[in-house]
Amino acid sequence: MISLDKANWSKVLQRVLVGVVCIPLLLILYYKGGMLLKGFLGLLTVLSSYEIIKMYENKGVKLLFFNVVSSFLFFYCIVWSSSHALFVLFCILLLNGIRDIFLNKTDGAVFRISGSMLTVLYPAIGFGLFFRLGDIHQTLIPTLAIMVWITDTFAYLVGMKFGKHRGIFKVSPMKSIEGFIGAIIFVCIGAVLTRYIDPEFYTPKLWILLALSAGFFGQIGDLFESLLKRDFGVKDSSKIIPGHGGVLDRFDSLLVAAPVLYILLELF
């Protein structure tokens, strides 16, 4: 069990206060959907892309601010189910390459181009397909968000109370296998309880898909962002949210869980 020092307790208190204020507002926004949610997720896409660009600067790699705009554009291509999405993505790839060609920048070109695509794809696909879940069922967006919150919360609480086997993931040495499994158990319980929302829609098959997406892949999303931050040499993606760090820090689990759930629902 890990004891919390004064600084950690202060951070936990900040997280709780932000959660108490923001979670009810987010749930209402997620349920209502529409243009307001679309605008909000578009803003998160822009902020996330900008955070990635700033983290790349920490590695000495300068990316075009154009990629923030590109991420916003690609987000809307996904939201509107545009048939031009692949064309837009190809143009983004080409324009990033053209820049280095005409400036005769050969050193680091691969890192700049691949980094640009990460800047565009990672937030846009995650937030875009999160919005598209609302096309399947109105309650699916807030439901997935709750499942992800359950995962994050119990991965932390179970790990803090019972975590003994740590260091399994080098990108997050303090994450324990007990916390990882505990989060999955609690999200499974939460998934089963969704039958009270709409028993005809929230079938046992959907319980499994929700638990898999949020419980397992949600934690993979958290570890994926930790992998990026460890390589970038930063603790948080930014400081925009008190006690939570940046947008990527707060929504990292959702950015993987949402696309996984959307794809699974399309396949099954």
The radius of gyration of the chain's CA atoms, rounded to the nearest angstrom, is 19
Q: Residue 243: is it exposed, middle or buried by C-beta count within 10 angstroms (0-12/13-18/19+)?
A: middle
Cα–Cα distance, 250 to 15 (Å, whole number): 10
Cα–Cα distance, 164 to 259 (Å, whole number): 32
Distances (CA, A) of 98 to 15, 61, 73, 95, 137: 43, 17, 19, 5, 42
Amino acid 5: pLDDT: 54
The domain locations on the chain are 33-136, 137-268
pLDDT digits (tens, 9 = 90+) for 27-83: 999 999 999 999 999 999 999 999 999 999 999 999 999 999 999 999 999 999 878
pLDDT, mean of residues 237-248: 87
pLDDT digits (tens, 9 = 90+) for 130-165: 999 999 999 999 999 999 999 999 998 998 888 788
Read off the pTM: 0.92
